[in-house]
Amino acid sequence: MNEQLITLTAPAKLTLSLRVTGIRPDGFHLIDAEMVTLELADELVIDPTGDGLEISGKFAGELGINDQVLAKNLVSRALKLAGRTAHVTVTKNIPSGGGLGGGSADAAAILRWAGFTDLVAAAKLGADISFCIVGGRARVSGIGEIVKPLEVAQRQITLVVPPFGVSTPAVYKAFDELTDSCRQKLIHSGVNDLEPAAIKVEPQLETWKKKIFDATGVEPTLAGSGSTWWLDGRFENLADQLPDATVITTQLR
């Protein structure tokens, strides 16, 4: 048994609300968001004497793992940013492509282990990583590097992850392509400015929003750029009513 192995927890993040407040000359979007850490988490095992990356677990298959994917994985990039080497085994418990920050959470776990605290640099690696380093509940602004902790209020959350992912870059591109008048009409009508653009990119999202409402009587909220929809509270038998989705009941960490 290798006594040098280190086990880390990488909790998922949930974006409860999201405003897009502008765009910088370098193309990064400015946001004003409320994010929380969930009990749902990936697990990382680090061997500081080794090198390389392995990904396994329930949702590993969705990543299409190969050498090219592993090289671009946020864990590999986080190790490079921190100037560290290690062999990392990731067990994926967070659905991939659902907007729950699984990759960002894994990268943040690596940066915490490495003692890397530069939130500005971390945000350039991935917009959610700075929040995932801090965790808890926070108001997040700038391009994600400004994280102001808020008091955590315990609550249960039900996540509904449809059987498809949504590309975050594609959603922001669609948001940028909305005309000014159309953007002003569509955004600020709910708690997530990206919802109209996300539905434009992936029309199935609207179908799933209706499915969830029909099953619960509650209108769900899109998590970030999707594809996850979330609801406050626990909904018994929802997984049976939506067999094609991944339904997870969790709580704030």
Helix ranges (DSSP H) in the chain:
67-72, 74-82, 102-113, 119-125, 129-134, 168-177, 180-186, 195-201, 204-216, 238-241
In the residue annotation, 13 being an active-site residue is answered as yes
Sign of CA dihedral 231, 234, 239, 245: positive
Interatomic CA distance for residues 163 and 154, integer angstroms: 28
Using DSSP bridges, classify how beta strands 52-56 and 87-91 pair: parallel, antiparallel or unpaired: parallel
Q: Which of 13, 92, 209, 211 is catalytic?
A: 13
Of 37, 226, 23, nearest to 142 by C-alpha is 23
Interatomic CA distance for residues 139 and 187, integer angstroms: 19
Instruction: Specify the amino acid at residue 103.
Output: G
Tokens (6 digits) for 58? 């329930």
Tokens (6 digits) for 202? 């992936």
Q: Which of 128, 193, 209, 211 is catalytic?
A: 128
Residues known to be catalytic? 13, 128
